[in-house]
Amino acid sequence: MSKPHWRPANASDLPAISMIAARIHSDLPERLEVFAEKMRLYPEGCRVLAADDGIVGYGLAHPWMQHRIPPLDGLLAQLPGDADCLYLHDVAVLPDFRGGVARDYVVAIEQLARASGIATLALVSVYATRPLWERLGFRPVTADAELRAKLASYGNSATYMLRHLIAT
Ligand SMILES: CC(C)(COP(=O)(O)OP(=O)(O)OC[C@H]1O[C@@H](n2cnc3c(N)ncnc32)[C@H](O)[C@@H]1OP(=O)(O)O)[C@@H](O)C(=O)NCCC(=O)NCCS
């Protein structure tokens, strides 16, 4: 069995993405068109983890504004013209294939941000993933009332986090 690898996602991967999302995020369901729209608006940020037998994970990211988050299961309509971060909407990998792969995806997104002149990565940590994201350089940010209200749709443990990229 060869090692699973990240590759750009395409529209034919959508059913697999949707199935993995439903399995891993059963408490935070999102419609297939929400994934499809991200892929259409910003294919550069959408990747799948390809194993011998098919897709075993995905990562979705797109340009956005710091301290703002799209509502869960909501359409973006369009990307902001004055984006100041790449927002990691989600990374999800089937349990048997975890270990080092989130780091690889974040490295790819970091390179994409740098190449696009964007100096910050953002995400909402859910479940108990905050230590994992801290390990990858993200720091929790105090949310204002508007951000707190939006975070509520992501569950109780949702934490908004930023990672400022150091100039290289
Ligand atoms: C989140 C997820 C994609 C991580 O995948 P993964 O391949 O296990 O992640 P990695 O091994 O690349 O972890 C990144 C780093 O965090 C570390 N880490 C993992 N779990 C950790 C924990 N509980 N506490 C502290 N550090 C942790 C890893 O050791 C690694 O650091 P290292 O490279 O220096 O060793 C996977 O666990 C998953 O699909 N979870 C369910 C969906 C989910 O919660 N997604 C995130 C939504 S915000």
Rounded to the nearest angstrom, the distance between the alpha carbon of 135 and the centre of ligand 1 is: 8
Terminal-to-terminal C-alpha distance of the chain: 36
Which residue out of 47, 135, 138 has the highest number of ligand 1 atoms within 8 Å of its CB and is therefore the one to mutate?
135
Give 12-43 pLDDT, tens digit per residue: 999 999 999 999 999 999 999 999 999 999 99
Structural domain range at position 155: 5-164
Alpha helices in 42-161 (DSSP H): 101-115, 130-135, 145-151
State if residue 86 touches ligand 1 by the CB under 6 angstroms criterion.
Answer: no
| CA distance to 22, 26, 55, 125, per residue, from 40 (Å) | 21, 24, 19, 24
CA 77 to centroid of ligand 1, rounded, Å? 30
Of residues 7 and 167, more confidence is placed in 7
Encoding tokens for residue 41?
């608006």
| 71 confidence band (pLDDT: 50, 70, 90) | confident
Q: At 75, which CATH number?
A: 3.40.630.30
| pTM confidence score | 0.97
- Report the separation in Å between the CA atom of 42 and the middle of ligand 1, taken as the mean of its atom positions: 24
| CA distance readout (Å), 78 to 38, 41, 45 | 9, 7, 15
Pocket flag, ligand 1, residue 158 (CB < 6 Å): no
Q: Is 95 in the pocket of ligand 1 (CB under 6 A)?
A: no
Strands, DSSP E only, in the chain? 5-8, 47-51, 54-64, 85-93, 120-125, 139-140, 159-164
- What's the pLDDT score for residue 134? 98
Q: Are 86 and 65 in contact (CB under 8 A)?
A: no
Domain count, the chain: 1
